[in-house]
């Protein structure tokens, strides 16, 4: 069982951490996996994606990183392909001149595609320290990211993805 409760966040600050942008999201909401609660604390992006759907990578992957009271990590992975116009995720990938707060509240739940199936598995964190035992929830539906925002992000930070890894006997559930 996987469920999430997320708030509109009014104090989101975006940081340039060298190889990506990182957003502080505390307190941002709760992800529940099999009765374990994980608190949302951070978001960052990779281009191209670190997960594939039926062998096809997406242009961008957003990670919503959560932690439980014992320090265990759970990550929601959201996939995006470029499209004309402006989209909700664009604000998280537009490089600020310095660390800067967002001008408007961020609605995390609006980034989660309603009704989308999700792939769930236990794997490894894709950023240092590459911690094992991470609970992953990757949404199957590929959403849209603005072509201009993606080009700016990719030009400054891409490619910054961890190479796709073999399953190595991992069990992946589609819920």
Catalytic site residues?
Answer: 15
Residue 145: name the closest of 65, 75, 63, 59 by CA.
Answer: 59
d(CA 106, CA 25): 9
Half-sphere exposure at residue 111, Cβ-oriented, CA atoms within 13 angstroms? 28
Q: Which of 108, 92, 95, 17 lies closest to 60 in space, CA to CA?
A: 92
DSSP lists the bridge partners of residue 134 as 123
C-alpha 157: how far from its chain's center? Answer: 16
């Amino acid at each position: 069982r996987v469920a999430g409760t997320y708030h509109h966040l009014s104090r989101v600050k975006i940081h340039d951490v060298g190889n990506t942008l990182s957003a502080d999201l505390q307190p941002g909401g709760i992800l529940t996996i099999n009765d374990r609660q994980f608190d949302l604390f951070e978001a960052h992006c990779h281009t191209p994606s670190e997960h594939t759907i039926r062998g096809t990578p997406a242009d961008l992957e957003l990670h919503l990183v959560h932690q439980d009271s014992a320090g265990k990590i759970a990550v929601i992975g959201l996939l995006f392909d470029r499209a004309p116009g402006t989209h909700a995720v664009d604000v998280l990938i537009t490089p600020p001149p310095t660390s800067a707060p967002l001008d408007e509240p961020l609605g995390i739940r609006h980034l989660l595609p309603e009704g989308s199936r999700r792939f769930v598995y236990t794997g490894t964190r894709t950023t240092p320290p590459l911690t094992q035992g991470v609970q992953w929830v990757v949404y199957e539906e590929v959403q849209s990211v603005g072509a201009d925002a993606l080009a700016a992000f990719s030009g400054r930070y891409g490619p910054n993805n961890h190479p796709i890894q073999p399953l190595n006997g991992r069990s992946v559930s589609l819920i």
